[in-house]
Amino acid sequence: MTELWEGLVTAVKLIISLDPEVMEIAGRSLAISATSSTIAALICLPLGAVIHSNKFPGKRTLINIVQTLFSLPTVAVGLFVFVLFSRAGPIGGLDIMFTPVAMVIGQVILISPIMLGLTISALSGVDKAIADTAISLGASGLQTAVITLREARFAVLAGLIMGFGRAISEVGLSLMVGGNIAGFTRTITTAISLETSKGDLELALALGIILIVIALVINLVLNRVQQR
- Is the distance from CB of 148 to CB of 123 less than 8 angstroms? yes
**Which of residues 43, 69, 179, 209 is near another protein by CB under 8 A?**
179
Q: Could you tell me the CA-to-CA distances from 69 to 24, 54, 64, 76 in Å, in that order? A: 32, 21, 9, 11
**Which of residues 4, 137, 182, 220 is near another protein by CB under 8 A?**
182
Q: Is 199 in the site for another protein (CB under 8 A)?
A: yes
Could you give the CA distance from residue 201 to residue 209 in angstroms, rounded to a whole number? 12
Cβ at position 110, least distance to another protein in Å: 17
Query: Which range binds another protein by CB under 8 A, 49-57, 86-94, 131-139, 207-215?
Result: 86-94
**Which of residues 101, 110, 122, 210 is near another protein by CB under 8 A?**
101
Q: Is 87 in the site for another protein (CB under 8 A)?
A: yes
Q: Is 180 in the site for another protein (CB under 8 A)?
A: yes
**Which of residues 137, 143, 153, 219 is near another protein by CB under 8 A?**
153
Half-sphere exposure of 11 (CA within 13 A, CB side): 22
Could you give the CA distance from residue 220 to residue 214 in angstroms, rounded to a whole number? 10
Q: Which is nearer to another protein, 62 or 162 (CB)?
A: 162
List the x/- string, 24-63, binding to another protein by CB under 8 A.
Answer: x--xx-xxx-xx--x--x----------------------
Q: In the chain, what's the furthest Cα-to-Cα distance? A: 66
Which of 51, 33, 75 lies closest to 163 in space, CA to CA?
Answer: 33
Which of 170, 167, 153, 169 lies closest to 48 in space, CA to CA?
Answer: 153
Q: Is 181 in the site for another protein (CB under 8 A)?
A: yes
DSSP H stretches of helix in the chain: 2-16, 20-53, 59-68, 74-85, 100-124, 128-136, 141-151, 153-169, 172-173, 188-198, 201-227
Cβ at position 175, least distance to another protein in Å: 10
Residues that bind another protein (CB under 8 A): 24, 27-28, 30-32, 34-35, 38, 41, 86-89, 92-93, 95, 97-101, 150, 153, 179-184, 196-199, 221-222, 225, 228
